Amino acid sequence: MRTGWPTQLAQLILVLGLAPLLTGVTRKVRARLLRRRGASVVQPYRDLLKLIRKEVVVAENASWLFRAAPYVIFATTWVAAALVPTFATGLPLGAAADLIVIVALLGTARFMLALAGLDVGTSFGGIGSSREMMFASLAEPAMLMAVFTLSLFAGSTELSSISAFMLGPRAGLSISVALALVALIIVALGENARIPVDNPATHLELTMVHEAMILEYSGRHLAVIEAAAFVKLLLYLSLIACVFVPWGTAVAGAGLFGYALGLGLYAGKLALLGFLLSVFETAIAKMRVFRVPEFLGVALMLGLLGTMLLFVSRAPH
Give the footprint of another protein on residues 175-214 (CB under 8 A). 175-176, 178-179, 182, 203-204
Contacts of 57 (CB under 8 A, 6+ apart): 218, 219
Query: Quick one: which segment of 18-26, 28-36, 37-45, 111-119 binds another protein (CB under 8 A)?
Result: 111-119
Instruction: Compute how many residues bind another protein; rule: CB under 8 A.
Output: 108
Among the listed residues 300, 265, 259, 281, the one whose alpha carbon sits nearest the alpha carbon of residue 7: 259
Q: Using CA atoms, how far apart are residues 109 and 219, in angstroms rounded to an integer?
A: 20
Among the listed residues 68, 64, 105, 65, the one whose alpha carbon sits nearest the alpha carbon of residue 84: 105
Q: Is 108 in the site for another protein (CB under 8 A)?
A: yes
8 Å CB contact between 158 and 99: yes
Question: Rounded to the nearest whole angstrom, what is the least distance from the CB of residue 76 to another protein in the complex?
Answer: 6
8 Å CB contact between 112 and 72: yes
Q: Using CA atoms, how far apart are residues 153 and 155, in angstroms rounded to an integer?
A: 6
For 88, which DSSP code? B
* Shorter beta-carbon distance to another protein: residue 2 or 37: 2
8 Å CB contact between 211 and 128: yes
Binding residues for another protein restricted to 66-85, rule: CB under 8 A:
71-72, 74-76, 78-79, 82
* Shorter beta-carbon distance to another protein: residue 52 or 251: 52
Among 2, 60, 257, 283, binds another protein (CB under 8 A): 60
Query: Quick one: which segment of 28-36, 37-45, 132-140, 191-199 binds another protein (CB under 8 A)?
Result: 132-140
Among 38, 107, 196, 258, binds another protein (CB under 8 A): 107
Contacts of 35 (CB under 8 A, 6+ apart): none
* Shorter beta-carbon distance to another protein: residue 14 or 79: 79
8 Å CB contact between 197 and 132: no
Distances (CA, A) of 282 to 26, 165, 299: 11, 35, 21
Binding residues for another protein restricted to 225-284, rule: CB under 8 A:
none
Q: Is 222 in the site for another protein (CB under 8 A)?
A: no
Q: Is 34 in the site for another protein (CB under 8 A)?
A: no
* Shorter beta-carbon distance to another protein: residue 26 or 151: 151
Query: Quick one: which segment of 20-28, 232-240, 270-278, 299-307 binds another protein (CB under 8 A)?
Result: 299-307
Among 10, 39, 100, 267, binds another protein (CB under 8 A): 100
Q: Is 59 in the site for another protein (CB under 8 A)?
A: yes
Among 56, 201, 260, 272, binds another protein (CB under 8 A): 56
Q: Is 133 in the site for another protein (CB under 8 A)?
A: yes
Among 10, 41, 104, 279, binds another protein (CB under 8 A): 104
Radius of gyration of the chain from its Cα atoms, rounded to whole angstroms: 19
Among the listed residues 107, 300, 73, 287, the one whose alpha carbon sits nearest the alpha carbon of residue 198: 287
